Structure 1
Amino acid sequence: MRHFSLARTMVALTVVAAVFAVWSGVSWYTAAHSEDRRYSALRDEVLSAGAQAVQNLNTLDYRDLDKGLRLWQDSTTAALFKQLADSGPAFRDSVLKAKSVSTAEISECGITELDARVGKARLILSVRLTVTPAEGDPVTKRLREVAEMTRTSQGWKLSALGNAPETGGGQ
C-alpha cells in the first residue's frame, strides 16, 4: 500500500512540474513578444538616437569642419539640415574665424512624447557643453534642450532642436 501511495505522489509531482514548465514557457514567450516590450525597445532606440543626435549637433571642431557638418547631416532630417546649412559660407567663415572647438556630453535624457504610429517623438535633454576657444580657457555651461525626432528610412533623426523653457523655481 505504501508503494502505491509513493507512486501516486511521484505522478502528481510530475504533473505539477510539467504544468509549471508549460506555464513558465508561455509566460516567458508572451512577455518577450508583448506590445509593451516592443514599445520599451522603441523608447530605448529613440532615446539613444536622440541623445546621440543632440550631442552631434552641439559638437563641432573648426579643424575638421567638413567632418562635423557631415555628422550634422547624418543626424538630422533633410529639412533641419537645410535650415542649418542655409547660412552656408557665412557660417563656415564664422566657425573657421573663431577657431573654437565645442564638445557636448548628454547628462540626462528623457522622452516626453512618443507616437510610434506616426514616427514622431519629443525629448528633453540636459547637455554639458564645453567650448574651447583658440586662446584662453575652455568654458563649460549647462543647456536644457528640447529635441524632436522623426522616424526616417535611415532610422530616427533629429527634426527640430531648441532650448527648453525655463521653469519657475523658488528664489
Structure 2
Amino acid sequence: MTRLRLGVVFVVLAAVFAGWGGWTLWQAGRPFDAEVARDAALQAGRSGVATLTTLDYQSIDAGFGRWLEVSAGPLREELSSAQDASKQQIAKAKTVTTGTVLEAAVTELDVTVGTARVIAAVEIVVRPEVGEQAAKRSRFQADLARTDTGWKLTGLAQVPYVPA
C-alpha cells in the first residue's frame, strides 16, 4: 500500500471513529434530557394539581391568581372565562379546600413536542365555615405543556374509580 493510500485510510477511519463517537455521545445525552424533562414535568404536575385543588374563600383572588400561574392553553382559558361565576359560588359556599398530592407519576412524555401527562392521587380536605370538615380522595389526570416559563397544566380531569 502506498503512503498516500495509507494516509487516506487513516483519515477515513479517523472520520468514522469521530462520527461514531459523536453519535454515541449524543445518544447518551438523550436519556438524561428525558429524565430531566420527566422530573420537571412530574414536579410541575404535582404542584399544579395541588394548587388547583386548593382554594380559600377568604382569599379568592389570590387563589385564582395561583390557578392562572400554573395553567396554560385551554385550561387557563377555561379558568379565566369561568372566574367570576366560580368566585361567586365559592364565596357563597364559604369553604376552604386543601389538596395534597399523595402519589403521582408521569404516564406520557414527549420531550420533542414538550408535552406530558401526569396522574395523581389527591386527598382533598373541605372545611366549611360551619360544620365538620370532610376529606375525600380523588384521582386526577393532568396534561402539561412545556412553556417559556416551565411546565404548565393545560388540562385537568378527575379519573373515575372503577372497581375491578
Q: Same fold (TM over 0.5)?
A: yes
Using the TM superposition, give the Cα deviation of residue 164 of structure 1 relative to its aligned residue in structure 2, in angstroms: 1.5
Do the aligned partners of 2:123 and 2:137 also contact (CA within 8 Å) in 1? yes
Q: Does 1:37 align with 2:43?
A: no
- Matched position secondary structure for 1:34: helix
Partner of 2:147: 152
Q: Does 1:122 align with 2:114?
A: no
Partner of 1:138: 133
- Matched position secondary structure for 1:47: helix
- Matched position secondary structure for 1:150: strand
Gaps of 5+ in 1: 1-29
1:60 counterpart letter in structure 2: L
Partner of 1:89: 84
CA distance in 1: counterparts of 2:122 and 2:114, whole angstroms:
24
**CA RMSD for the aligned pairs?**
1.4
Q: What's the TM-score, normalizing by structure 1?
A: 0.76
2:155 counterpart letter in structure 1: A
Give the number of the structure whose alpha-carbon radius of gyration is greater: 1
The one-character-per-residue Cα deviations of 1:35-94 (angstroms, maximum 9, x if unpaired) are 222211111111000100010000000111111000000000043122123224221111
2:71 counterpart letter in structure 1: T
Q: Which structure 1 residue ranges, 4+ long, deviate > 4 Å from structure 2?
A: none
Higher relative CO (Cα under 8 Å, sequence separation at least 6) belongs to 2
Gaps of 5+ in 2: 1-24
Q: Does 1:54 align with 2:61?
A: no
- Matched position secondary structure for 2:140: strand
* Count of residues paired in the alignment: 138
Q: Does 1:71 align with 2:71?
A: no
Q: Does 1:108 align with 2:103?
A: yes
The one-character-per-residue Cα deviations of 1:74-125 (angstroms, maximum 9, x if unpaired) are 0000431221232242211111111100001000001110001001111111
Identity of aligned residues (%): 35
Which among 56, 75, 92 is matched to residue 80 of structure 1? Answer: 75
CA distance in 2: counterparts of 1:126 and 1:74, whole angstroms:
22
2:123 counterpart letter in structure 1: R
